[in-house]
């Protein structure tokens, strides 16, 4: 493995056999603009991995690249032993990955319920029981089920987006800053839910600015800077690393 630098000597990489997602030497960007260069990342089956880093580092771009939403410039994205680096998003979803983007993550003009139905688009029938599950997780959504999603408050939209992604019971869930804009109690709540989702066996790759909390809870973490891997290690190790704290976690 070619990590440029590691925070500590003890890197616990998942066993290659267990790797659900493997990103190798990935170069990607938008149009002519290259954002990521030579990025590596792994997520094992059922693992909970967090990416942190300064604004503009390319964290969201990693997520989008996994889902085929960026301009591919080289490298590989391997999921469940298939190379998905140049596939279309609407194919990737069949592989068992769901994605909650950082912005624009609900269909504003569709109702809450229709948003959830769209989450199950690739199924033949609308899974009523799953919708009920989501409503149970986020009761406010049941209350607003006929309101159009664009008129929900910021936090409510975040919940809806999460609910939508859960409609398919994915193997891997990509979450881009799920706690942004949430009230503190909900932040806690959200992290708890994510833990629970992870406990149910869904692997998670998450970007968070609420880095301390995220690193505390995750299995492993990556620090991304200027489109390149900077550090990677167990979450708690990163959390306690002086250099990382100083540069990225704000003292």
Partner 1 sequence: MSEPEAAPRQETAVTSDAIESPLLEVDGLRKEFGGVVAVDGATFSVAEGSLTGLIGPNGAGKSTTFNCITGIHEPTGGRVTFDGQDITGLAPYTLANRGLVRTFQIARELSEMTVLENVMLAPGGQVGESVLRSVTPGLRSEVIKAEAAVRDRAWETLEFFEIDHLAHENAGNLSGGQRKLLEMARVLMTDPEMILLDEPLAGVNPTLEEKLLERIHELRREQGLTFLLVEHDMDVIMNNCEHIIVMHQGSVLAEGDAETITSDERVLEAYLGGDV
Partner 2 sequence: MGIAEFARDGRVVVGERPGAAVVAAVGGFLLLDLVAKLAGTTVFFVGTKLLGGSLTVSSLLSMVVDGLLVGLAVGLAGIGLSMTYSILDFANFAHGDTVTVGAFLGWVAAYITAGLGTGAPIAELFMLNSGRQLSTVSTLAPVLLGLVVAGVGSIGIVLLIDRLTYRPMRDTDNISLLIASIGVALALRYLIAFVFGTETSGVASGGLRVTVFSMISVTDNEITLLVVSVLLMLGVHLLLQRTKLGKAMRAMADNEDLARVTGIPTERVIRLTWILGGGLAGIGGYLLVLESGTISFNFGWILLLLIFAAVIVGGIGSIYGAMAGGILIGLVDSLALIWLPSGLTRASAFLVLIVVLLLRPSGIFGGVSTA
Ligand X SMILES: Nc1ncnc2c1ncn2[C@@H]1O[C@H](COP(=O)(O)OP(=O)(O)OP(=O)(O)O)[C@@H](O)[C@H]1O
Instruction: Choose the one of Mg ion, ligand X, partner 1, none that binds residue 82, judging by a C-beta under 5 to 8 angstroms depending on kind.
Output: none
Minimum distance, C-beta of residue 35 to Mg ion, in the bound complex (Å): 11
* Strand-strand pairing, 203-207 and 48-52: parallel
Q: 115 vs 229, which CB is nearer to partner 2?
A: 115
Q: 93 vs 237, which CB is nearer to partner 2?
A: 93
Binding site for partner 2 (CB under 8 A): 67, 69, 88-90, 93-94, 98-99, 101, 104-110, 114, 117-119, 121-122, 164, 168
Does residue 95 bind partner 1 (CB under 8 A)? no
Does residue 153 bind partner 1 (CB under 8 A)? yes
Binding mask 36-75 for partner 1 (x = CB under 8 A): -----------------xxxx-------------------
Under rule CB under 6 A, which residues in 145-164 are in contact with ligand X?
151-156
Are residues 182 and 150 in contact, defined by beta-carbon separation less than 8 angstroms? Answer: no
Stretch touching ligand X by CB under 6 A, among 2-10, 57-65, 76-84, 89-97? 57-65
Using CB under 8 A, which of 140, 145, 228, 236 touches partner 1? 140
Query: Which of 59, 8, 10 lies closest to 242 in space, CA to CA?
Result: 8
Beta bridge partners of 99: 174
Minimum distance, C-beta of residue 177 to ligand X, in the bound complex (Å): 7
Does residue 102 bind Mg ion (CB under 5 A)? yes
Does residue 21 bind ligand X (CB under 6 A)? no
Alpha carbon separation from 79 to 85, 155, 165 (Å, rounded): 9, 31, 18
Alpha carbon separation from 176 to 21, 113, 238 (Å, rounded): 17, 22, 20
Under rule CB under 5 A, which residues in 126-155 are in contact with Mg ion?
154
Does residue 210 bind Mg ion (CB under 5 A)? no
Under rule CB under 6 A, which residues in 118-147 are in contact with ligand X?
none
Q: 206 vs 218, which CB is nearer to Mg ion?
A: 206
Instruction: Choose the one of partner 1, partner 2, Mg ion, none that binds residue 104, judging by a C-beta under 5 to 8 angstroms depending on kind.
Output: partner 2
Site residues, Mg ion (CB under 5 A): 60, 102, 154
Site residues, ligand X (CB under 6 A): 30, 33, 35, 53, 55-61, 102, 151-156, 181
């Amino acid at each position: 493995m070619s990590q440029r630098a590691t925070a500590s000597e003890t890197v616990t990489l998942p066993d290659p056999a267990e790797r659900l997602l493997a990103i190798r030497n990935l170069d990607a960007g938008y149009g002519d603009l290259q954002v990521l260069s030579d990025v590596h990342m792994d997520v094992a089956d059922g693992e909970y991995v967090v990416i942190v880093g300064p604004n503009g580092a390319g964290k969201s771009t990693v997520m989008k690249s996994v889902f085929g939403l960026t301009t591919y410039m080289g490298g590989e994205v391997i999921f469940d032993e298939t190379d998905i680096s140049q596939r279309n998003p609407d194919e990737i979803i069949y592989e068992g990955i769901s994605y909650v983007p950082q912005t624009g993550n609900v269909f504003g003009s569709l109702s809450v319920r229709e948003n959830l139905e769209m989450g199950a688009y690739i199924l033949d029938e609308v899974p009523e029981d799953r919708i009920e599950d989501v409503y149970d997780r986020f009761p406010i959504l049941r209350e607003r089920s006929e309101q159009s999603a664009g008129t929900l408050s910021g936090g409510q939209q975040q919940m809806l987006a999460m609910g939508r992604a859960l409609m398919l019971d994915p193997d891997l869930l990509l979450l881009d800053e799920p706690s942004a804009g949430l009230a503190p109690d909900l932040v806690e709540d959200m992290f708890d839910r994510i833990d629970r989702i992870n406990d149910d066996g869904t692997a998670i790759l998450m970007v968070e600015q609420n880095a301390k909390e995220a690193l505390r809870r995750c299995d492993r973490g990556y620090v991304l800077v200027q489109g390149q891997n900077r550090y990677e290690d167990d979450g708690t190790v990163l959390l306690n690393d002086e250099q990382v704290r100083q540069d990225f976690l704000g003292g």
